[in-house]
Structures are given as structure tokens and as C-alpha cells.
Structure 1
Amino acid sequence: MAMTAKERKRQQREREREREKALDIKPYTMELAATERAAIAEAAKLRGFEDQTEYVMALVYKDRDMSRKENVCTYPDCRCPFDMGPDGKCLVGNPRKIEVENGTN
């Protein structure tokens, strides 16, 4: 027996809820001025993004990756007051350079 439009819509909503639950999707709201929204829209369009959220997330990921490369543990050449922990972890919490290069952190 064929499904009705209502049944298809219900199944679609169910799949969306399952996907959101599996990905732990939560809303994220920002208060932006009109000029800020316009700047995001313009930059996203210039870079070929159809979705402004994807553009903003691309900026976040790029910044995160650059920060990880800049803020690495350089032990024993660092100037922090700690020695390397017995488990080979930085006691300040910075990733080791090799971890960043290999993408393990």
C-alpha cells in the first residue's frame, strides 16, 4: 500500500530528528548588526559559498587549525616553568608539535 503524503512527511521529520540527535545538533544564535550580517553575506558570496553558516564555519576551522599550529608545546625549548609530564603530555595543555603535524589532536 502506498504511503500518504502525511506519512512521508512524518517519516522525514523522524529521520531528521534521528540525524540531529546522532550529530548532537543544537541551535547557536548570534546577535549581529545589519552591517555585520551584510559583511558575512558579501564575503560568503564572493568566496562561492551558498550557505553563510558554511562560510562562517570554514573561517572558524581555519582559525582553529592556525591556532593549533601556533600554540604548540616546544619542550624542552619552551620557557614554561614545568617539565614534560610523565605521560609525555604538556603540563600547560598545549598539543605537541608532532601531534599537530599528524592531525592527532
Structure 2
Amino acid sequence: MKPEFENTPLVKNESKKRFEIEVNGHFAFIDYREGRDQIILVHTEANPELAGTGAAAAVVEKTLHFIEENAKKLLPYCPYVFAYIKKHPEWKRIVDEKFERYDQL
């Protein structure tokens, strides 16, 4: 994560069902669904004003930390999150082994 995002707080916006960070009034976020033991990450997006800033990667990393800290298992259906985990395989530790594409990570 780029240093400029380290102190940006992650918000679990339950009304919108998304994890988000806000940067200068613009958002990077991940839509999620949550079960008792799992969090499904569905879609990652950043406002166009944040394109190329690293905000999307920052919201992913902060969300993965949140999932781990809350002892949940991850189902990374979002292609961006899936690619992020492939690039950072240490995060495979929080992916639910029952995830259908687990062996592709």
C-alpha cells in the first residue's frame, strides 16, 4: 500500500454493503456480502478521480486485514481482489479452502 493511504481509515458501510475509503471526497470501495463465518467480496471500484492513485489496492489491503482481524474466511469473487491475492499470495491464508477457485490462487 502506498504510504499516503496508511492512515486513511477503512469504513464498513453496512447500509451500502461495502468497505470503503475516502480520499479528498472521492471513494474507493468493495461491495460485499457477509455470512456468519465468511465475507464474499463481489466488486471493487474507485471513483474516476482516484484512477491510478493506488486507492483501489489500498481498500483491498485494508479489507483483507479487516477480514483477518475478525476471524472470517474470504471468498474472493471480485476479479480485482482475486488478482490482488494472486500477486500477494500471503493473503491466501484467509481464503476459504472451499472456494471453488482456491487452487488457482
Q: TM-score, normalised by structure 2?
A: 0.22
Structure with larger RCO (C-alpha < 8 A, sep 6+): 2
Q: TM-score, normalised by structure 1?
A: 0.22
Q: Which has the greater radius of gyration?
A: 1
Judging by fraction of residues, say which structure has more strand: 2
